[in-house]
Amino acid sequence: MKDPFLSTSYSPVYTEVDDDPREVEYIEIKVKSALHHTRLPYSPKPFFYSLNLYRGCRHGCPFCFARYTHWFLGFQNSFDFQRKIQVKVNLLEKLEEELSNPRRKREWVTLGAATDPYQPAEKKYGLARGAFQLLAKYRWPAVFSTKSDLVLRDLDVLKELVDRANGGVAMTLTTLDPALQKFLEPHAVPIHRRLEALRQLKAHGIPCGIHLMPIIPFVTDTEEAIEGMVRAAVEIGVDYFVYNVLRLRGEVVKGYYYHVLQKFNRTTFEQTRKLYGSRPYPPETYTEALFKKVKFFREKWGYQNRWRAIFSDKQLELF
Ligand code: SF4
């Protein structure tokens, strides 16, 4: 079957990366609905509702799989994904209508699948805080991932959500090396602040995890990098540790990543292009060896996931 993301007529427009935060433009939009059914490949449950507060993401990770969504919205310049952020200004109103609808079955809600709920726009618009207040009010459990410690602003609301329904917060980390971070997640919060945020979440009794996502071939797939991440998970005592390899699905995503990677390191670019070929994933032999490496270090440091114990359906069965 033809990959739908490859069927877009694709002629990329690139300009230089602009680090100036004043370049960000917020475009306020109205939406017809808030929750969408989705399937998460790594979750213990097949179906979740997904909730995205913004479209586009200022963190600007060059490998972000959600980059194609901006292309479909009509933004032709590849940097617009991180520069022109759409803000769903009526989202909380729609969300409350949906959560309070007795015909709607209560299920887990996931945020952060296509845009970071705690990206800089959240300081101005507060949609994440409002969404978690509503989820707590109507007792809908939620999980999400972020690359920002702005989440600590909402500890009170998150605690309420965990107590009334259930919930979990993952910090997504791709590297512990600040020099590499400039390339991999140019506008995200520094790594040490994200690790400290995990410690704070843990100290406040909020289930938390590390998403080592994605592991990037020839960049973050070394033994040293993976062992460092497992050790961080053990030292902080996070409740879950989820990982996956870089996916480069469709020309919008792959084209942008290659564009940035070439400037970062020409050799790595050539190696990556050879590894992926025309596929969205590296060959199975590469992925199997990579996952074995992660498993080896998890066993070496005695890391145990508590994912299933935390995200049981106990709360949902009460209703
Ligand atoms: S933080 Fe997540 S959503 Fe935002 S650009 Fe990076 S990968 Fe994409």
Q: Is residue 122 part of a domain?
A: yes
Please tell me if the CB atom of residue 113 comes closer than 6 angstroms to any atom of ligand 1.
no
**How far is it, in rounded angstroms, from Cα 37 to Cα 44?**
16
**How far is it, in rounded angstroms, from Cα 62 to Cα 52?**
20
With 80 as the cut, is the pLDDT of residue 257 above it? Answer: yes
Please tell me if the CB atom of residue 187 comes closer than 6 angstroms to any atom of ligand 1.
no
> So what's the pLDDT on residue 22?
57
Structural domain count, the chain: 1
**How far is it, in rounded angstroms, from Cα 242 to Cα 110?**
15
Query: Ligand 1 centroid to 179 CA: how many Å?
Result: 18
Q: Is residue 16 part of a domain?
A: no
For ligand 1, atom 3, the nearest C-alpha belongs to 115
Q: Tell me if the pTM is above 0.85.
A: yes
Query: Ligand 1 centroid to 116 CA: how many Å?
Result: 6
Determine how β-strand 208-215 pairs with β-strand 167-173: parallel
As beta bridge partners, residue 314 has none
* Beta strands per DSSP E along the chain: 25-29, 35-39, 47-51, 54-55, 84-88, 109-111, 142-146, 167-173, 208-215, 240-245
Please tell me if the CB atom of residue 60 comes closer than 6 angstroms to any atom of ligand 1.
yes
pLDDT digits (tens, 9 = 90+) for 163-175: 999 999 999 999 9
Query: Ligand 1 centroid to 187 CA: how many Å?
Result: 10
For ligand 1, atom 8, the nearest C-alpha belongs to 64
Atom of ligand 1 nearest to the CA of 147: 1
User: Which of the residue ranges 3-12, 73-82, 159-168 would you say has the lowest mean pLDDT?
Assistant: 3-12
* Average confidence (pLDDT) over 298-302: 97
For ligand 1, atom 7, the nearest C-alpha belongs to 64
pLDDT digits (tens, 9 = 90+) for 81-113: 999 999 999 999 999 999 999 999 898 999 988
Query: Ligand 1 centroid to 100 CA: how many Å?
Result: 30
Q: Is residue 14 part of a domain?
A: no
Helix 266-276 vs helix 250-264: angle between axes, to the nearest 10 degrees?
Answer: 150
Query: Ligand 1 centroid to 61 CA: how many Å?
Result: 6
* Average confidence (pLDDT) over 185-194: 95
Sheet of strand 47-51: strand arrangement? 35-39, 47-51, 109-111, 142-146, 167-173, 208-215, 240-245
How many other CB atoms sit within 10 Å of the CB of residue 87? Answer: 18
CATH code of 222's domain? 3.20.20.70
Query: Ligand 1 centroid to 90 CA: how many Å?
Result: 23
Atom of ligand 1 nearest to the CA of 82: 5
Q: Is residue 134 part of a domain?
A: yes
Q: Is residue 153 part of a domain?
A: yes
Atom of ligand 1 nearest to the CA of 115: 3
Please tell me if the CB atom of residue 67 comes closer than 6 angstroms to any atom of ligand 1.
no
Please tell me if the CB atom of residue 146 comes closer than 6 angstroms to any atom of ligand 1.
no
Q: Is residue 5 part of a domain?
A: no
Atom of ligand 1 nearest to the CA of 57: 4
Residue where the block lists tokens 């995990």: 198
Q: Which of 223, 177, 211, 167 is nearest to 41 (CA)?
A: 211
pLDDT digits (tens, 9 = 90+) for 18-57: 555 557 999 999 999 999 988 665 555 556 899 999 999 9
pLDDT digits (tens, 9 = 90+) for 269-296: 999 999 999 999 999 999 999 999 999 9
Please tell me if the CB atom of residue 189 comes closer than 6 angstroms to any atom of ligand 1.
no
Rg of the Cα trace of the chain? Answer: 19
Please tell me if the CB atom of residue 64 comes closer than 6 angstroms to any atom of ligand 1.
yes
Range of the domain at 144: 21-317
pLDDT digits (tens, 9 = 90+) for 144-158: 999 999 999 999 999
Q: Is residue 4 part of a domain?
A: no
Please tell me if the CB atom of residue 115 comes closer than 6 angstroms to any atom of ligand 1.
yes
Query: Ligand 1 centroid to 60 CA: how many Å?
Result: 6
* Average confidence (pLDDT) over 182-197: 95
Please tell me if the CB atom of residue 213 comes closer than 6 angstroms to any atom of ligand 1.
no
Mean pLDDT of the chain: 89
Give percent above pLDDT 70 in the chain: 88
As beta bridge partners, residue 111 has 51, 144
